[in-house]
Chain A
Amino acid sequence: MEKMDTNDYLIDFPLSPAFIAEQVSAQNMQDAGGQSFFIGKIRADAVENSSVVGIEYSTYSSMVQKAMDAIKDKIYKKYDDVKSVIIFHSIGLVRAGESSMLVSVSAGHRKAAFHALEDTVDMIKHEAPIWKKELLKNGNHRWL
Chain B
Amino acid sequence: MKILYFGITSEITQQNSEELNNIKNLYELKKNLFERYPKLENINFQISVNQQLIRGDQNLSTTDEIALLPPFAGG
The verdict on B19 contacting chain A, using a C-beta distance below 8 Å, is no
Contact A66 B51 (CB under 8 A): yes
* A144 proximity list for chain B (CB < 8 A): 73
Residue of B nearest to A123 (CB): B74
Contact B74 A130 (CB under 8 A): yes
Contact B6 A101 (CB under 8 A): no
| CB interface residues, A 38-79, toward B, < 8 Å | 40, 57-60, 62-63, 66
Partner of B7, one of A58, A89, A101, A121: A58
Give A130 to B72 CA distance when docked, in angstroms. 5
Residues of A within 8 A of B (CB): 40, 57-60, 62-63, 66, 89, 100-101, 121, 124-133, 143-144
Residues of B within 8 A of A (CB): 4, 6-8, 10-11, 48, 51, 67, 69-70, 72-75
